[in-house]
Structure 1
Amino acid sequence: MSTTFPRHWWGKIIGAILGLLKGGISGAFIGGLIGHFVDRLLAGFTGAGDIRRLFFRTLFATLGHVNKADGRVTEAEIQAAEGLMRRMQLSAPERQQAIHYFRAGKAPDFALEAALREFAHHTVMRHDLRQMFMEILLEAAAADGRISEREQAVLVRVCHHLRIPPEQFAAMWNVRYGPAGGGAGYRRARTAAAAGSLQQAYAALGLETSASDAEVKRAYRKLVRQYHPDKLVSQGLPEEMMEMAKKRVREINTAYDLIKQTRGIK
């Protein structure tokens, strides 16, 4: 009987064998450890086409799981998910796939951690893509006008598995809803672009109002590079989601323009 090892194990196996030959048991341990990091590096070079399919599947399944977190998926949440599909301009077969993944995510036996581990494994070198995944998920989850505390808890777990720092999640949250607080649900706040709110503008750039002009410029340049649609698509963002990346860049530009105008930055 033949045994087939998962592709992401080969770095560990080869490293352990080489270490065993050169240094016995301790060498095998060190070799396996080195192999682990080789596996993580190679995972970052998964083909963009494979990443796009994985991104698409994980996004809709996770969205279904988030919407189901408070017991039932409302009609408004279903309409919001369908709205996301329309904005992505999915073909009929793609739409059916998205619905299938969404329903799978709602199922009681859906393994959220396993799905996120797979996605994280193949995006080790693509942190910007993980960030965009979270942006789209947060936007879609709130498209019905609210996010419950249970849904918020699932979103926090998603960030944890994707290794998105709490302060980055807080920035994404604050730009939409303001500082997190108590209550049964969080009503959707207007973005900086819609409200012209200076506080929201700083939140959009992940900054405090006390940030220096240099910090404002640095944060702006970093975010524009991070969310550049062409860059994200080259990393594996499905092209259907490019418009959402463009929307994020527009929000960043609007926020920066407001801060510049207020501060007199040239």
Structure 2
Amino acid sequence: MFYGKLIGGVLGLLVLGPLGLLIGLFVGHLFDKGLWQTLRFASPENIARIKQSFFESTFLLSGYMAKADGHISQQEIDHTEMVISQMGLSAEQRKRAIELFREGSAANFQPEPVISRFLEATGGQQQLKQTLLFFQISLAMADQALDDAERDALNRIATLLGFTRAQLEQMLRMAQAQGHFHGHGGAAGPEPGTTLEDAYEALGVSKDVDDKSLKRAYRKLMSENHPDKLIAQGVPEDMVKMATEKSQDIQAAYEMIKKSRGMK
């Protein structure tokens, strides 16, 4: 891959002479490197590798999160079973998911090697990192409570993935608020008692945000959770359903805000 260096070098030479040639070659090298990374991570072989890594990381870290407070609650077991059920796994895949969950819940489990392998496989793609973290947040909040041990475990995972504590706290607030719009029986729509403040929190914006910025935040969230985009990035198809449901929650929150503002 050398097109960037060739073009950059020629343009630099024409504009700035010998010094420009060196600058152009350097800039071109950076372009080539970025293009090669994009093409490499978009290959079918690597997409398959990303899917495998995402699957394994999800259930290993889920076991780690579930055991973070010293015991695995029934709600956490039910939540994991729900994820497995939604994925429509084969008997062999289901067995593997349970094995990974148990491995992650072992007393000597360390998340560092798992996340290191995940970052290597995914090239550190931001959306994949965020999606993996949201899976763990949803498990941590399955019992409607988040104790200090679970928060510390989440922060450990978030830090390893490259997120700050402030970013994690915002994601936690958004996830909790989005849960208010999941309705009963999984149907999208606000639960009884859901407030307008919950709607703003679900979108990660303040109540004094202008309409233009509100729409931008909403569209960004919807784009990040679009099934086709997630699948293209390497999230296993069977794990995309949860992201689809999250999109419905986000839309329900946005509709509440629009109605309160009289927006079209």
TM-score of the pair, normalised by structure 1: 0.75
Q: CA deviation at 1:70?
A: 1.3
Report if aligned partners of 1:44, 1:125 keep a CA contact under 8 Å in 2.
no
- Corresponding residue for residue 204 of structure 1: 202
SS at match of 1:234: helix
| 1:112-131 equivalence runs, <5 A | 112-124=111-123, 126-131=125-130
Instruction: Using the aligned pairs only, state the percent identity.
Output: 33
**Letter paired with 2:220:** K
The whole-number CA distance in structure 2 between the counterparts of 1:207 and 1:116 is 29
**Letter paired with 2:234:** G
- Corresponding residue for residue 180 of structure 2: 190
Higher alpha-carbon deviation: 79-88 or 138-147: 138-147
The whole-number CA distance in structure 1 between the counterparts of 2:175 and 2:121 is 29
**Letter paired with 1:239:** E
- Provide the alpha-carbon RMSD of the alignment: 2.6
The whole-number CA distance in structure 1 between the counterparts of 2:179 and 2:245 is 16
- Corresponding residue for residue 152 of structure 2: 153
Q: CA deviation at 1:120?
A: 1.9
Report if aligned partners of 1:172, 1:204 keep a CA contact under 8 Å in 2.
no
Q: CA deviation at 1:143?
A: 2.1
Sort the Cα spacing of 1:146 and 1:158 in 2 relative to 1 into closer, same or farther, 3 A.
same
1:79 aligned onto 2:78? yes
Q: Unaligned 5+ residue runs, structure 1? A: 1-33, 179-187
Q: CA deviation at 1:189?
A: 6.3
> Cα deviations across residues 105-153 of structure 1 (Å, max 9, x unaligned)?
0112222011112112222352112212122221123223333220111
- Corresponding residue for residue 226 of structure 1: 224
Report if aligned partners of 2:65, 2:136 keep a CA contact under 8 Å in 1.
no
> Cα deviations across residues 50-93 of structure 1 (Å, max 9, x unaligned)?
11111010011001001111112233322321122112221111
Q: CA deviation at 1:228?
A: 0.5
SS at match of 1:194: coil
The whole-number CA distance in structure 2 between the counterparts of 1:165 and 1:45 is 28
SS at match of 1:122: helix
Q: Unaligned 5+ residue runs, structure 2? A: 1-29, 183-189
Q: CA deviation at 1:167?
A: 4.3
1:70 aligned onto 2:73? no
Sort the Cα spacing of 1:160 and 1:75 in 2 relative to 1 into closer, same or farther, 3 A.
same
Sort the Cα spacing of 1:140 and 1:221 in 2 relative to 1 into closer, same or farther, 3 A.
same
TM-score of the pair, normalised by structure 2: 0.75
The whole-number CA distance in structure 2 between the counterparts of 1:218 and 1:167 is 21
The whole-number CA distance in structure 2 between the counterparts of 1:81 and 1:165 is 26
